Amino acid sequence: MKKLLIIALALLLTLPLTVFVEDTPGGDALVFDGEVFTALFLPDGRVVYVPNKKGNTLARDELRCVDRDGKLLWSCAIPAGMQYWGGPHQLTDGSFALVNTLADGKRYLEIISAQGEHLRSQLLPDEMVPLLVAGARVYGTLQGEKEHQMFQIDLNGQAQPVSFDIIRPNSAVMWAWPKGEGHMLLIRGKASDLEDFTQRTADQALVYLDETGTETLRSAYLFERNLLHGFEPDAAFNQLGGLTALVKDNSGDKPFNTFSIHVYAPLAEVAEDWHYAADALTIKPQLIDQRPDGGYTVWGIGKQAESDSSGFVFRMETDAKGDIQSFSAKQAEGCRMVRYIDNQPHVFYSFGPNSWLAPFDTFPEMEIKVEKLEIDNHG
């Protein structure tokens, strides 16, 4: 466990330094009462979130729900916790589930009703990292030095081994998020054992599970990808019946200013991949949708330079062949893109003194150029 935490910290330290601003936007922005630690943004305009404690060091003991105007709908006391894998998750009956790590290291699944009543705390198995809610189940992985074992845990804490056809069993579930009527899982194979972790590689997969938790034909795969590269946690259902995924490339002279779009037919068969580079220090795609005309809209973030106020969010539209049709960048430091009302992308700033959420067009334009590269690199 200690080794995994050291590697995670080292990965974070490889990213360019970001300095965050405290200005809140006007217009239709939702401004929170204080700082948000982790949140669930719902299509109907509600936000369910864990508010941060002063200094980001104290245990957090509350779950809140606000409407699109920021009005508090309910507040629920929960056992004081320090970490919440994946944040709040909505269950099919409208209630909410939250994996909560207490000060003693024990992990519990907190179940909160749709009206904000704390229903129960369910103890979860030890040693699994991470623990991620997806539908009416939690996915966890025992990550050993030699082998990984994935588990599926029901809402009563009962665990059983699980595997997926798309990737070998010696793998770990790294992230999960709702998609359509089901959920997406990001899975990574056991990494190579090179001493330099920045050179380690592993297979990666995206798999879509339907509402029953059954693996579908919509999947994506990368072979032996460097751990600093790989899938972003979003994908679009495409017109081929497969997935279209966002991929961090991190290659070349500027390792953080490139990304790609990979189009997969069913069963992770690569149909297309398109590569892009920005005239910026960093660029990171975060959300993708396919439009009815077959083209794609990509949303993400970046940083123009190392200065304190050079952060931006962007929207890029392509045609069905991946050629860029439009690109718009807006000045917004320290933010990320999230799906909110009607699943449409919004800009979210999670830091203090007040977190906020605002439409993309709220912000001033910024001059950033992106070009499509002529690279053929399947896998």
Q: Are strands 137-143 and 215-226 parallel, antiparallel or unpaired?
A: unpaired
Question: Is residue 79 domain-resident?
Answer: yes
Question: Is residue 181 domain-resident?
Answer: yes
Q: Give yes or no for residue 310 having a pLDDT over 50.
A: yes
Q: Is 45 exposed, middle or buried (0-12, 13-18, 19+ CB in 10 A)?
A: middle
Q: What is the rounded distance in angstroms from the CA atom of residue 180 to the CA atom of residue 23? A: 34
Question: Is residue 337 domain-resident?
Answer: yes
Which pair of structure tokens corresponds to residue 347?
Answer: 């800009």
Same-domain pairing of 209 and 253: no
Q: Supply the DSSP symbol for 124.
A: -
Which pLDDT score is estimated for 155? 97
Domain of 15, in residue numbers: 1-23+236-379
> 80-133, pLDDT tens digit by residue?
998 899 999 999 999 999 999 999 999 999 999 999 999 999 999 999 999 999
Q: What is the 3-state secondary structure (H, E, C) of 241-307?
A: CCEEEEEECCCCCCCCCEEEEEEEEHHHEEEEEEEEEECCCEEEEEEEEECCCCCEEEEEEEECCCC
Question: Is residue 38 domain-resident?
Answer: no
Same-domain pairing of 132 and 94: no
Pick from 71-80, 193-202, 263-272, 317-326: least confident: 193-202
Same-domain pairing of 64 and 129: no
Which pLDDT score is estimated for 116? 99
Same-domain pairing of 267 and 173: no
Number of domains in the chain: 3
Tell me the pLDDT of the chain averaged across its residues.
Answer: 91
Which of 95, 120, 145 is the C-terminal boundary of a domain?
120
Closest Cα partner for 255 from 16, 7, 21? 16
Confidence of residue 225 (pLDDT cuts 50, 70, 90): very high
> 312-331, pLDDT tens digit by residue?
999 999 999 999 999 999 99
> 237-258, pLDDT tens digit by residue?
999 999 999 999 865 556 689 9
Cα separation values, 277 from 207, 228, 234, Å: 27, 17, 20
> 353-377, pLDDT tens digit by residue?
999 999 999 999 999 999 999 876 5
Q: Give yes or no for residue 38 having a pLDDT over 50.
A: yes
Confidence of residue 55 (pLDDT cuts 50, 70, 90): low
The answer to whether 312 touches 299, Cβ cutoff 8 Å, is no
Same-domain pairing of 247 and 172: no
Same-domain pairing of 305 and 345: yes
Q: Supply the DSSP symbol for 104.
A: T
Same-domain pairing of 255 and 175: no
**Would you mind telling me the total number of residues written for the chain in this entry?**
379
Q: Is 85 exposed, middle or buried (0-12, 13-18, 19+ CB in 10 A)?
A: buried
Which pLDDT score is estimated for 16? 36
Same-domain pairing of 216 and 242: no
pTM: 0.91
The answer to whether 162 touches 151, Cβ cutoff 8 Å, is yes
